[in-house]
């Protein structure tokens, strides 16, 4: 790793109300100093006398120095692509971040290492009297004595950092996360298996922990495979199910993907197929909590899986929880059958199924009008808790019906090709991330160069995604998790529809949005007037 060790001198201790007077920094690679940075900074305010006595920096010394708005971009360019290190990093990095915010300068995503935190873990109290920089520098035999000047203190911190790295190396600390983690130690099994993360590529993809018999023990996905897999062998991993399978893991396999969307979908499919013991067992493609209207004279009931709707069956969901099923069932019965309805339709009620199907699929106005009048009555009588409960129940119904509507619409489309201009990281080239979608399932993904033409790839995508064409029954309710990931991707800024077989549309503001309930409630006020 390449580090930039930084130290500041300031007019006080508050990053909000005080200012920087000096920045000193040392760039280090492989134990060797590769560059230094030092400058006074005009704080644009007087330096307090006690600060001048402590640091030796007075108003005369900073007069004519550049302001922080000029210095900060130069420092960040010096530190570009490195790990920032400071002794009591909360202070130094806090001042730098506050200065960036005041000057409207974007703060980069630097990893930060705090030598004070590391020293407290590495040098026990019996070994050193305290963990101040001067004490530690003397203890490790630093070549520079810290003297409350920025560059001298940064140079001394470099020597302290090197001693800390040497000590951590003796107990198995070899990676950046060994410097950024808390005081907890990795387990012996994690240390023994840490080599399994070597050679993992960066970028998005899916990873699998494989046991001695070839069984899949765990499946995950990440936008940065290398960083994510390494984290499993560090103290930051605390999940008991994962810690239990690490001793059993013999290798980690990865599948590189073109985007996070592809990785998320592949993860869902692999968990459903392999049922790894360390993953949540509920992640199956068809399982959920649904409210189903049966065919014919059948009423509403809960369902864990879906079925085709070509026989008149209708289902909405998936619901947030099984606890929503019975309240939603009661809500719909009351709205369609009247306040005395308890158990569903009576025999011979031919209109029930038609009205309920309409309310669940296209037009919930009958439900919303009933709810709006009940809300008006409850609020007028001061029963606000009951009104809030009714509103929450109605919102859950609208959400479930809207989700089912979106799933139903995309399930009916045989073939969609869509693309967006995308790059995996700031350093990677721009590509056209192009998806072929079959009945709400991912059929294929292509990463085309930015100068390529996604339209020209339509027939190729049709061929390579043909195997997915027959896997959509019952609709895409059977793959609702995957379909919702695709719908989310399609709704992102910059996504362009390249080709559609047939028609596909999704209302921007449909009948099942919360605005429809608000409008129905407003109409009740007009009616009472």
Active site residues: 148
Q: How many CB atoms lie within 10 A of CB 194?
A: 18
Question: Would the CA dihedral through 165, 166, 168, 169 be positive or negative?
Answer: positive
3-state class of 67 per DSSP?
A: coil
Q: In what order do the strands lie in the sheet with 431-438?
A: 441-449, 431-438, 415-422, 496-501
Q: How far apart are CA 495 and CA 417, in angstroms?
A: 11
C-alpha to C-alpha distance for 197 and 195, rounded to whole angstroms: 5
Strand order through the sheet with 300-303: 300-303, 290-293, 314-316
Q: Smallest Cα–Cα separation from 44: which of 58, 61, 63?
A: 63
- C-alpha 25/C-alpha 4 separation (Å) is 6
Give the residue among 221, 211, 218, 264 at the shortest CA–CA distance from 241.
Answer: 218
- How would you class 416 by CB atoms within 10 Å of its CB: exposed for 0-12, middle for 13-18, buried for 19 or more? buried
What is the C-alpha to C-alpha distance for residues 471 and 439, in angstroms, rounded to an integer?
8
Find the distance separating the first CA and the last CA of the chain, reported in whole Å. Answer: 73
Supply φ then ψ for residue 13, to 5 degrees. Answer: -110, -5
**Distances from the Cα of 361 to the Cα of 161, 212, 356, 401, angstroms:** 64, 50, 9, 7
Q: In this structure, what token pair is assigned to residue 393?
A: 């129940």
Q: Supply φ then ψ for residue 142, to 5 degrees.
A: -60, 145
Residue 5 pairs with which residues in a beta bridge?
26, 85
Q: What are phi and psi of 313, to 5 degrees?
A: -65, 145
Query: Of all helices (H) and strands (E), which one includes residue 517?
Result: helix 514-528
Q: What is the DSSP letter of 320?
A: S
Q: How many residues does the chain have?
A: 529
Please report which residue ranges of 275-364 form alpha helices under DSSP H.
Answer: 325-337, 350-361
The C-alpha atoms of residue 106 and residue 102 are separated, in whole angstroms, by 10
Contact yes or no for 296/305 (Cβ under 8 A): no
> 112-114 and 83-86: which strand pairing?
parallel
Enter the tokens of residue 299: 């009423």
């Amino acid at each position: 790793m390449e580090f930039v060790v930084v130290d500041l001198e300031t007019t006080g201790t508050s990053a909000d109300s005080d200012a920087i007077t000096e920045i000193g920094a040392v760039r280090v690679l492989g134990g060797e100093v590769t560059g230094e940075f030092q400058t006074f900074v005009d704080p644009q305010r007087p330096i307090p006398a006690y600060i001048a006595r402590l640091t030796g920096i007075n108003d005369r010394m900073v007069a004519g120095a550049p302001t922080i708005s000029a210095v900060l971009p130069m420092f960040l360019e010096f530190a570009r692509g490195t790990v920032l290190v400071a002794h009591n990093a909360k202070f130094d990095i806090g001042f730098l971040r506050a200065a960036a915010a005041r000057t409207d300068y974007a703060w980069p995503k630097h990893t930060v290492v705090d030598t004070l935190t590391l020293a407290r873990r590495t040098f026990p109290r019996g070994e050193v009297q305290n963990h101040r920089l001067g004490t530690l520098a003397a203890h490790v035999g630093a070549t520079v004595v810290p003297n409350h000047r920025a560059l001298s203190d940064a140079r001394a911190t470099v020597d302290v950092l090197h001693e800390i790295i040497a000590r951590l190396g003796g107990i198995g600390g070899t990676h950046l996360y060994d410097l950024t983690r808390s005081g907890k130690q990795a387990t012996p099994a994690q240390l023994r298996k840490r080599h399994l993360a070597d050679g993992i590529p960066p970028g998005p993809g899916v990873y699998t922990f494989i046991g001695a018999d070839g069984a899949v023990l765990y499946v995950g996905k990440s936008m940065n495979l290398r960083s994510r897999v390494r984290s499993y062998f560090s103290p930051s991993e605390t999940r008991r199910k994962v810690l239990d399978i690490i001793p059993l893991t013999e290798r980690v396999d990865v599948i590189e993907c073109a985007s996070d969307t592809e990785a998320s979908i592949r993860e869902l499919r692999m968990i459903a197929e392999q049922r790894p013991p360390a993953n949540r067992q509920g992640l199956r493609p068809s399982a959920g909590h649904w409210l189903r209207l049966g065919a014919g004279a059948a009423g509403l009931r809960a369902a864990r899986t879906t079925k085709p709707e070509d026989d008149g069956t209708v289902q909405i969901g998936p619901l947030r929880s099984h606890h929503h099923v019975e309240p939603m069932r009661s809500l719909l019965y009351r709205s369609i059958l009247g306040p005395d309805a308890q158990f569903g339709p009576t025999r011979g009620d031919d209109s029930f199924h038609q009205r309920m199907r309409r309310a669940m699929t296209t037009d919930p106005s009958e439900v919303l009008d009933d709810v709006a009048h009940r809300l008006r009555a409850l609020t007028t009588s001061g029963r606000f808790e009951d009104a809030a409960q009714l509103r929450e129940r109605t919102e859950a119904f609208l959400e479930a019906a809207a989700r089912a509507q979106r799933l139903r619409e995309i399930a009916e489309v045989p073939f969609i090709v869509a693309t967006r201009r995308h790059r995996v990281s700031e350093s990677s080239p721009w590509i056209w991330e192009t998806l072929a979608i079959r009945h709400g399932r991912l059929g294929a993904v292509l990463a085309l160069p930015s100068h390529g033409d996604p339209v020209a790839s339509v027939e190729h995508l049709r061929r390579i995604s043909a195997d997915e064409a027959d896997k959509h029954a019952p609709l895409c309710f059977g793959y609702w998790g995957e379909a919702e990931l695709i719908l989310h991707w399609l709704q992102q800024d910059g996504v362009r529809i390249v080709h559609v077989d047939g028609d596909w549309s999704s209302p921007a503001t449909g009948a099942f949005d919360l605005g429809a309930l608000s409008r129905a409630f407003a109409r009740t006020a007009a009616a009472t007037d």
